[in-house]
Each structure stands twice: as C-alpha cells, then as structure tokens.
Amino acid sequence: MKLDRPVTGGPCWTELGTSDLESAKGFYADLFGWRPETDPRQEAGGYTVAHIGDAAVAAITPLYQESQPVAWNVSFAVDDADAAAEAVRAAGGTIVLAPMDVLDVGRFAVAFDPGGAAFQMWQARAFSGAGLFNAPGALGWVELLTRAPDRVTEFYTTVFGWTVRASESYPQWGIDGADFGGMITMDENFPHEVPSHWLPYFAVEDVDATANAVLMADGHLLMEPMSQGHGRRIAVARDLQGAAFGIYASPEDE
C-alpha cells in the first residue's frame, strides 16, 4: 500500500466483529504480536484496540447486533460523515447505520455499496485511525470481492474520488494514483452464500510461517500461500470464529 497514514478517502482503520472477544484477542496477539487493550468504560461496549508498540493498528469488538456477521470491516476516512452518507445514497448505496458520534473520538456511519459489500466511514476527531501501516502486523492492503464490478467501480469513484489503475485481471484503487487496494470479481468459483465483502490484508515478515501459525492455532487457510509479481507473496486465512483476513509480504514495503 502506497499510503502510510490516514488520508481522506483512503482506508484508515479495520476492526473485527467477533462472537468470542477473548479468543480473538489471544489468536491475533499470538499471530501478529498485537497488544490488545479493552476500553473499560461501560459505554465502550468491550471495544478493544490492538497495538504494535505504541501504535494502534486495528480493533476487536463484540457483536453488537444479532444480525451482525463475524467479519473484518474496513473504514474509509471522510471529512464529513453526514455529507458522505448523502453521497452514498445518491450514488446508489445504502446507509445501514446513520452517522453517529463515538464518544469524543469521531463520527462514523456504516453502508453497503450497490454490490452488497459493507464498509464504514470515519470522520476523525480525537482519533484519526491506524498509527502504522505496511509494517508486520499492520494493515497494508484492502481488497473488494464483488459480483458487480462495473457498478461498484462507478460508485466508489463517485463517492470517494478514487483513481482506478485498470487491469483486466486485477483493477487497483488509489488516491491520486497512490494505490491502497484492489478488486476481485466473484465468479462461479465462489460459493453463492458468500456475500460481497471487503478483505483487509496485514503485512507479515514471512507468509508461509504465518500461515502455518494459523493452522497450528486451529485456524483455517482459505487460500494457500502463493507468489505474485515483484516478490510479493500472499495467503488468505480464517480465524477460529470464521472471520477471513489476508496476509502478505512484499519487498516493496521493506
């Protein structure tokens, strides 16, 4: 990911909604070296921020509604959550949680794109988002898996002003040409019950060793480690509660 800090329109945070908070905290602490800190305030609802050193890198939260799936979610930075929500509606998306204040740290909303993928929008106040990107254990890429590539491309470029580096096999999203993610079209190889979704990728030093650690911890691999161009290597895993996430190692981030 060419972005190294939260910028307007780009991914600024990722958080896991899980059915077993303590299990997830232990799993990711062992896997990525995270130091989880749960907010003790009752109004925080068990919200847990994971750190690498002093930098906040992700969050782990309980499920707040019965209908909420166990899944990783990606947040995109906006200057005005209310204006962004209106832009989502105007472009054919759906707001499922209207903009609301989160204590004193920011204002956020939850939406679905026209292809059905959920995402969050974050208007920063006291908290701008992740304090570290592209380092081992930190967010380094986001990927949209969708069955409606044309519709969502128009949607995201309209709502967030993203640039698209076109590729027949893997279009990439960017801010002013600084790529931060990509898009995969879900075909017949994807089970029908798997919805469109955003998938965060975390940087690691060794994809094969991390994938093996997932298996040793009783997690699963949805995609075995594979090599791409320019020395990049990736895999996709699933944690003990069923949330999918990606891992990658790339000499470009060294």
Q: How far apart are CA 231 and CA 210, in angstroms?
A: 17
Say if residues 52 and 138 touch (Cβ distance below 8 Å): yes
| pLDDT at residue 85 greater than cutoff 90 | yes
- In this prediction, residues 23-40 reach a mean pLDDT of 96
- In this prediction, residues 1-6 reach a mean pLDDT of 86
| pLDDT (0 to 100) of residue 151 | 96
* Alpha helices (H) along the chain: 21-32, 81-90, 149-160, 207-216
11-124 fold = 2,3-Dihydroxybiphenyl 1,2-Dioxygenase; domain 1 (3.10.180)
pLDDT in tens, 121-177: 999 999 999 999 999 999 999 999 999 999 999 999 999 999 999 877 899 999 988
- Phi and psi (nearest 5°) for 33? 75, 25
| pLDDT at residue 211 greater than cutoff 70 | yes
Instruction: Mention every residue, 6+ apart, whose C-beta is less than 8 A from residue 42.
Output: none
- Which segments of the chain belong to CATH 3.10.180.10? 11-124, 139-253
- pTM for the model: 0.95
Q: How confident is the model at residue 253 (pLDDT cuts 50, 70, 90)?
A: low
Half-sphere exposure of residue 75: CA atoms within 13 angstroms, side-chain side: 27
Structure token digits, residue 46: 């068990």
Average pLDDT, the chain: 94
| pLDDT at residue 109 greater than cutoff 80 | yes
| pLDDT at residue 110 greater than cutoff 70 | yes
CA distances from 98 to 41, 84, 163, 217, 220 (A): 23, 11, 26, 37, 35
CATH homologous superfamily, domain 139-253: 2,3-Dihydroxybiphenyl 1,2-Dioxygenase, domain 1 (3.10.180.10)
| pLDDT (0 to 100) of residue 231 | 74
